[in-house]
Amino acid sequence: RDAKIRLGYVSPQSGPLAAFSDADRFIIEGFLASDAGSNFEVIVKDSQSNPNRAAEVAKELIIDDEIDMMLVASTPETTNPVATTCEAEEIPVISTVAPWQPYFIGQQGNPGDPGSWRPFDFSFHFFWGLEDVISTFTAMWNQLDTNKSVGAIFPNDGDGNAWGDPNVGFPPVLDAQGYKLTDTGRYQNLTDDFSAQINAFKAANAEIVTGVPIPPDFTTFWTQAKQQGFTPKAASIGKAILFPQAVEALGDQGHNLSSEVWWSPNHPFSSSLTGQSAADLAAGYSQATGKQWTQPIGFVHALFEMAASVMGRVEDSRDPDEVAAAIAATQLDSMVGRIAFDGKGLPPFAAANVAKTPLVGGQWRLQDDGSYDLVVVDNSDHPEIPTGGKMEEIS
Amino acid sequence: MIWIDTIIQGILLGGLYALFAAGLSLVFGIMRLVNLAHGDLIVMGAYLILLLVTLLGISPFLALLIAMPVMFLLGWALQKFLLNRTLGDDILPPLLITFGLSIALQNALLEVFSADSQRLPPNALTTASVQMGPISLGVMPLLTFASAVLVIVGLNQLFYRTELGRAFRATSDDPTTASLMGIKPANIFATATGIALIIVTIAALYLGLRANFDPNIGPARLIYAFEAVIIGGLGSLWGTLAGGIIIGVAQTLGAAITPEWQILAGHVAFLLVLLIKPRGLFPRAHD
Amino acid sequence: MSLLETHNLTAHYGDFQALFGVDITLEEAETVAIIGANGAGKTTLMRSIAGVLRNAAEAVTYDGRPVGAQPADEIMAQGVAMVPEGRKLFPSLSVEENLLIGTYGRKKSGHWTLNTVYDLFPILRERRNSPGTALSGGQQQMVAIGRALMSNPRVLLCDEISLGLAPVVIKDIYAAVPAIKAAGASLVVVEQDIAQAMAVADRVYCMMEGRITLSGTPESLSREAIHDAYFGAAA
Amino acid sequence: MTYTVSTRTPVSRIAAILGLGGTLILAALPFFAGRGTIQDMFFILTMLVLAQFWNLLAGYGGLVSIGQQAFVGMGAYALFGGVILWGLDPVSAILLGGIAALVIAVPTAFFAFRLNGAYFAIGTWVIAEVVRLSVAQWKTLGGGTGTSLPRSATRDMWLVEMIEEVLDVRSAAARDILAYWLALVLALATIGGIYWLLRSKNGLALAAVRDNTEAAKSVGVDAGRMKLVVFLTSAFGTGLTGALIYLQKARISPDAAFSVTDWTAYVLFIVVIGGIGTIEGPILGVLIFFALQSLLADFGSWYLLTLGLLAIAIMLIAPRGLWGLISERTGLHLFPIRRTLRGGKLSPSEE
Amino acid sequence: MSILSLQSVSKSFGALTVTDDVTFEVPQGQALGIIGPNGAGKSTLFNLITGNLTANSGTINFEGRDVTRTSAMDRCMAGIGRSFQIPQPFEKLTVYENLLVAATHGRRLGEAAVRDDCADILERTEMIRRANTPAGQLSLLERKRLELARAMATQPKLLLLDEIAGGLTEAECQSLIGTIRDIHAQGVTIIWIEHVLHALTSVVERLLVLDFGKVIGLGDPDAIMASREVQQIYLGIEV
Ligand SMILES: Nc1ncnc2c1ncn2[C@@H]1O[C@H](COP(=O)(O)OP(=O)(O)OP(=O)(O)O)[C@@H](O)[C@H]1O
Ligand SMILES: Nc1ncnc2c1ncn2[C@@H]1O[C@H](COP(=O)(O)OP(=O)(O)OP(=O)(O)O)[C@@H](O)[C@H]1O
Ligand SMILES: [Mg+2]
Ligand SMILES: [Mg+2]
């Protein structure tokens, strides 16, 4: 074959979610420079963090650029419209960096009715799920001595609705493990005042806080909590404190905040493309850009590993059915761990479309120079990933 | 007790909204100019302060003093060379120009500062609080509220005690007749926008100290600011403060029932006030 | 050279032409009256002189300088003040503030100050803190005149200052004219009340449909001539 | 003495013939154009319809609304509700979208018509936010997460199978073609309908109200009712368009469906750049907007920066839009509405 | 029976009372003239009768129906037509279209049904040559004629004319008088505000004098004109 295989890649490169895509260029250049990468052409589109735009560029990639396969990353706001479009267009798509529930359930017609949920034919996803983050968070909390009273801030968006879902979210698991959850309801993003939540948490004497707010909202919440004298022992927060800048924005109030860790330079994985270790990849990024490593780096890299692996196993890259079958058959040891659509750890309805990657828990520790370091403090679900310390109370 | 706390927190939040709105109120009141870029100008002010803080290593409050004259000149020039050319009975040209300005500004900031969310360096005051009986009030919100009141007192002094203030009001009433009195409406408008941008800078300081900001965060707050101005009554600065407080309190009360209604409650309060008083709480006698 | 002259002055509102080549002159210390039916263009003429409507520079000369293209505020700054038709007080300002606005940006002193204006119209001193628009029509007219005087103008343009006022009030207002002239201003008075115009003016211009149709001293004009100039030639 | 009235001009006759030809070509487009073109045309046509309705509101009715996203979003959500919850066929659910928009337009009008000018503008914006926040609580349609149209529903849509067979295309392409044809019909009906309105006595009354409301009332024009009719009509049309757009996107979320930027700001941009208060303006505007987007959209923030600056520049250079500039220079009107009285004492020599 | 009656109608703008306890009746088919100094409140009175302004107190009856609070549009439909003192044409519409708006909406008829009527009115008001000119381009006199023509197009039972003869040459004035007499002869009740007295007196049957918003005289034109008060107040001439 003389023509190169065409990959479409969509991610939020501008707009409020742009931080997720900081490493895109670095990863893609690395991919194209690799041996396997030389067979590919990657057409990159920016969703501008806007779901309308994400769907539009997906269509453009499919129709005008006639891509063979779509890759899409970062938050349900981008992955879902792109995956929906590909599914309708019958183009294979691999997505990542969104917990699988908002990805899978969020694309169902009626998310409230599990009976109506249907698997996808062309849409595949690898990441962890809420059950992982719940188990990681509770494992971290179990390291501490608390009253097991948890306050939750879940926004009314893809992530928040999934985390707070009474069937698949936090509430049933916490209940089962003997935690008492105070969930005041889904607030809108960019809320300026959290005193209602803080009052409710104080009233419930919550010693733990969890949630999945966007960064500005978490800053508002955390600052107000301190001002109003609410000082939990643990705060395990998804999304908002993913990036070091967001934690730095909290000043010294970010110390010992905990979060889920999906990838770090200490993860014992390496690239199937280049053989690089996680530490090599992170170091390469820092060297090329002068920026601190972030978690999406590993997953965006893995997305391209997937592309190379899948396309290496097909006869005709232009045949969507064959490509989809090849994706489904993937058994890849990647930069983010093993990716296989074998249904392991998943309910039957999602087994065909989702592959789970390992998740551990970490804590941000304030360094002497004022910067923050993410230390893995819990690996009970994935002992192969080494810890760097023990869970500490926020003092 | 929780209810009292809820209302007080709402009032303090209202101070923030009033601060966002005060500059808008000035411009809207004097020129009937609907400035859709107001929120983005606040964000720009926050970046300016951040830049001064990081480059010169000074405190944000000191940076504010440097940023204010810069922003004044910017506002002056903006009005004089751009916005003045769009004033008239038709509200569309200013609407489109300020919308254009809004997206241009957002994306210029994005190019320069990237999408990463930023914050002015927090200090001891950020999380400090004072205890009032069982209620704990943040020093920063109190400071914000006090600044809003001060800004409004200051603007009122300017408006009702100085020659410039007289000229503002006269030009606002009737620019043509004002020009017959030797007033240059174009310059008066430019000065008004300049002053509005000084207030914008103060609002920017608190925006940046309070929480994270990024280039896209402006428009979300713009609507509250407009609501505060409109329910306060065109041209009434105290009305703007009252408007901000109404929205703030409605939000916290709504949230106390359920956070799902928090923002909705603010908007509904706005609609209710306008339903009862279509010209706002403290309308001018004329217009 | 006259203090103020217009040369072939024209004016348009959109597509509509309101003035067709108007020439008038005003000498130092003179009072001229402009009369004419509704819509004749009197107000338009005043607005053109005052700079609200712009023209070619040469269309209006003041003190020998072409000023037709200058904006109102610059013309005002050179000493041409106007009492606009319909008073046009600033509703947001009190009586005193309305008067003070007349001095905006000017440090130059002259005969007219708050005190001398209050002496001219004593009732205003009592009402100084009321909103300008809460006054009766006559009092409002006094404020409008006082506001123009506060700038100590050399030329005062008065547009229908008796409009809508009771005869006694009109008398009061016109009683102030000698004092205004004595303080050194030349006046252009627009009037529909012919008798009033005749009584106060040194010279009279009559307008119809945007043109000057008659001019002369009051004594030289017969009632018939004025009537014709006012409503068109009699059959 | 007999008089006749006509609105046609030689130019308009040529324009009508060209328009008819253009319409035929557009209708036949799916037979020879690729899917990319069809989709671009779908985008152009739907934005054009939104622009025409906003123009009807602001340009003819004097109602400057910045809350049109309420009707787009409502129409779209009604479509999803109709399909997912009540099992309607997507094509018929489009109508439901229009009706839903109409239903919320009534209370909106009741409220917003108490406000004027800038207050009206902000009022409609706030109402749109209220609708967005309320819809975001609609848990069965995904709340703030949003939801997707089930593939089974779109696949079995009316006419799709027939198009698949006749044109020999895949199902996804057939759906695009159907959506395109629906958009074409909607756009033609919108332009035709608005043109018809403007040429009717009610259009005359709208123009009169715009020129001088007080005088219009004095000759028996019901200015309030005219405005209400215009408001409700454009809500209905905007709702239909919203439903159609989201039928084609197949995925919805409150933030996307109620986006003030996408559904009002860009529409405002299109109308004002093209020329407000004319039918030609939005057509020209949408072409410019599309051209800009195709040329620059891959430049991310530079694209939006350019768009913003362009809005400012055109407003300063041509306050009445580009079509305003053109028709001022050339006297060209493709959709003439001026009635010319002929005959009687207006014999040609005197005309 | 009187077609129009006003009972103690008052109107003020802020502190300024512009219409002060006005009471009078106009019998069906009569032509009434109104005179008074500038600012006496004549135009305001018209605005109150047509509904462009709403009275602060008092009642206005038209054809026995209380219309005090109804809208300008309703009153037009009921049969009250008016011209504005300062012409208010629809500037972007042509002269013919100006009439068309009035005829189709004032009478709730279709365009075709009123075409000949409009053309006829244009002929009678000598505006036919300007039929296709945008009203914004008319001269003042033409605008005043358009005011009259547009008012007639609504086919009013009561026609209110506000200073339509000002500034006409004598010949033009005579032709205008002819037109108004014509309209009157068809049974239309007319109220006419005019400063051009000889025009007014040659048409009207009664004269009403307004000063400071009050009716200070109502009766036979000759008697009214002869009164010393009117001569002094109105003509500003010391007699
Ligand atoms: N802003 C305007 N727009 C359009 N036409 C105007 C405007 N102002 C005045 N005109 C028209 O210009 C003409 C001259 O008006 P102007 O006000 O100068 O007359 P005037 O002699 O002062 O009349 P009056 O005695 O009623 O004050 C009139 O026909 C009037 O309708
Ligand atoms: N909308 C308004 N607001 C405030 N004052 C008004 C208003 N309309 C009219 N006036 C005032 O009411 C008084 C009467 O005005 P009106 O136009 O009725 O007089 P008129 O008798 O028609 O005079 P003219 O002969 O000059 O036309 C005037 O003093 C005028 O300034
Ligand atoms: Mg005048
Ligand atoms: Mg009048």
**Which CATH number does the domain housing residue D139 bear?**
1.10.3470
Tell me the shortest Cα–Cα distance from C72 to chain B, in angstroms.
5
Percent of chain C with pLDDT over 90: 41
End residue of a domain, out of E136, E154, E172? E154
Answer yes or no: do E163 and E53 share one domain. yes
Does the beta-carbon distance from B103 to D316 stay under 8 Å? no
Subunits with 3+ Cβ pairs within 8 Å of E are C, D
Counted domains in chain D: 1
Same-domain pairing of E200 and E237:
yes
Closest-CA residue of chain C to E142: C16
Q: Does A216 sit within 8 Å of B117, measured CB to CB?
A: yes
Instruction: Give the 3-state secondary structure of residue A118.
Output: coil
Nearest Cα of chain E lies from the Cα of C177 at a distance, in angstroms, of 19
Min Cα separation C180/chain E (Å): 24
pLDDT at residue E235, rounded to an integer = 56
Given E119, E154, E189, the domain boundary residue is: E154
**Does the CB of B30 have a partner CB in chain C at under 8 Å?**
no
Same domain, E166 and E61: yes
- Which residues of chain E are within 8 Å of residue D220 when distances are taken between CB atoms? 73, 76-77, 102, 105-108, 154
Which among C10, C35, C43 is the best mutation to test ligand 1's pocket, defined by most ligand atoms within 8 Å of the CB?
A: C43
Asked if A169 has any chain D CB less than 8 Å from its own CB, the reply is no
Which H or E element spans position B277?
none
Give the model's pLDDT for residue C234.
40
User: Is E73 in the same domain as E148?
Assistant: no
Domain of B196, in residue numbers: 2-88+137-276
Partners of residue E167 in chain C, C-beta under 8 Å: 37-40, 208-209, 231-232
Contact assessment for residue D45 and residue D180, using Cβ atoms and an 8 Å cutoff: yes
Residue of the CA atom closest to atom 30 of ligand 1: C39
Nearest atom in ligand 1 to C190's CA: 22
Asked if the structure places residue B127 within a domain, the reply is no
Length of chain A counted residue by residue: 395
CA distance C152 to chain E (A): 30
E117/E69 same-domain check: no
Q: How far is B231 from chain D (nearest CA, A)?
A: 10
Q: Which residues pair with A94 in a beta bridge?
A: A71, A124
pLDDT band at A382 (very low <50, low <70, confident <90, very high): very high
Range of the domain at E138: 88-154
* Protein residue with its CA nearest to atom 13 in ligand 2: E39
E73-105 pLDDT per residue, tens? 999 999 999 999 888 999 989 999 999 999 999
Length, in residues, of chain C: 235
Looking at residue A297, what is its pLDDT? 94
Q: Three-class SS string for chain C? A: CCCEEECCEEEEECCEEEEEEECCEECCCCEEEEEECCCCCHHHHHHHHHCCCCCCHHHEEECCEECCCCCHHHHHHCCEEEECCCCCCCCCCEHHHHHHHCCCCCCCCCCCCHHHHHHHCHHHHHCCCCEHHHCCHHHHHHHHHHHHHCCCCCEEEEECCCCCCCHHHHHHHHHCHHHHHHCCCEEEEEECCHHHHHHHCCEEEEEECCEEEEEECHHHCCHHHHHHHHHCCCC
Cβ of C13 closer than 6 Å to ligand 1, yes or no, is: yes
Residue B86, class by beta-carbon neighbours within 10 Å (0-12 exposed, 13-18 middle, 19+ buried)?
buried
- The owner of tokens 């990639």 is A61
What separation in angstroms does the CA of D5 have from each of D9, D340, D344, E115, E229? 12, 5, 11, 8, 53
**Could you tell me if B234 lies within 8 Å of chain C, comparing CB atoms?**
no
**Domain check: are E70 and E10 in the same one?**
yes
Per-residue pLDDT band at B150 (split at 50, 70, 90): very high
**What residue owns the CA closest to ligand 1's atom 2?**
C13
E32 and E132 housed in the same domain? no
- pLDDT at residue C148 is higher than 70: yes
pLDDT tens, residue by residue, C12-39? 988 788 899 999 999 998 999 998 877 7
- pLDDT over 80 (residue C134): no
CATH code where residue E9 lies: 3.40.50.300
- Consecutive 10-residue averages of pLDDT for chain D (351 residues): 79 87 92 88 96 94 92 96 90 94 95 87 93 90 83 77 82 87 96 93 92 90 92 96 93 90 91 91 95 82 86 88 89 85 69 40
Does the residue B282 lie in any domain?
no
pLDDT of residue D302: 85
Give pLDDT, residue D163. Answer: 84
In a domain, D351, yes or no: no
- pLDDT tens digit sequence for E158-217: 999 998 886 666 777 888 888 899 899 999 999 999 877 788 888 999 999 988 889 988
Torsion (CA) A220, A224, A227, A230 in degrees, nearest 10: -130
Reading across the β-sheet that carries E57-62, which strands appear in turn?
E16-27, E2-13, E57-62, E65-66
Q: Are E55 and E68 contacting, i.e. CB atoms less than 8 angstroms apart?
A: yes
State the alpha helices, DSSP H only, in D168-222.
Answer: 171-199, 201-211, 213-218
Backbone phi, psi, residue B84, to 5° = -55, -30
Is residue B112 in some structural domain? no
Distance CA B79, CA B77 (A): 5
The DSSP letter of residue A251 is G
The A149-153 sheet, strands edge to edge: A180-183, A149-153, A208-211, A234-237, A258-261, A360-366, A372-378
Say whether both E65 and E113 belong to one domain. no
CA distance E158 to E31: 10
Residue A2 has pLDDT above 60, yes or no: no
Residue C233 sits at the chain E interface (C-beta within 8 Å): yes
In a domain, B108, yes or no: no
Q: Do C72 and B166 touch (CB under 8 A)?
A: no
Judging contacts by C-beta atoms under 8 Å, the chain B residues touching residue A201 are none
Claim to verify: residue E118 and residue E11 sit in the same structural domain: no
| β pairing state of A123-126 and A69-73 | unpaired
**Residue of C46, C90, C158, C159 to mutate, testing the B interface (most B Cβ within 10 Å of its Cβ):** C90
pLDDT of residue D318: 87
Q: Which atom of ligand 1 is nearest to the CA of E86?
A: 31
Q: Do both E40 and E125 map to the same domain?
A: no
CB atoms within 10 A of CB B3: 11
**In terms of residue numbers, what domain contains D314?**
3-343
User: What pLDDT is recorded for position A338?
Assistant: 93
In a shared domain, residues E75 and E100: no
Q: Is the interface score ipTM higher than 0.95?
A: no
Would B111 be classed as within a structural domain? no
Domain ranges of chain C: 4-79+148-231
Of D167, D186, D232, D209, the C-alpha closest to D29 is D167
Could you give the number of structural domains in chain E? 2
Q: Judge whether residue B96 has pLDDT over 90.
A: no
Same-domain check for residues E32 and E120: no
Q: Residue A42 has what pLDDT? A: 95
Q: What confidence tens digit (pLDDT) does each residue in E36-47 have?
A: 877 788 989 999
**Predicted pLDDT of residue B286:** 56
- B200 falls within a domain: yes
Residue B97 lies in a domain: no
* pLDDT of E239 strictly over 60: no
Q: Identify the CATH class of C4-79+148-231.
A: alpha beta
pLDDT at C146: 92
CB-side exposure of B280: number of CA atoms within 13 Å? 30
C-alpha B192/C-alpha B197 separation (Å) is: 9
Residue D169, chain A, CB below 8 Å: the answer is no
Q: Among E154, E174, E203, give the residue marking a domain's end.
A: E154
pTM attached to this predicted model: 0.89
For ligand 1, is residue E223 a contact (CB within 6 Å)?
Answer: no
Ligand closest to the CA atom of residue C84? 3
Chains with ≥3 CB–CB distances under 8 Å to B: A, C, D
Span B181-230, pLDDT tens digits: 989 999 999 999 999 999 999 999 999 998 889 888 888 889 999 999 99
Q: How far is D271 from C125, CA to CA, in rounded Å?
A: 55
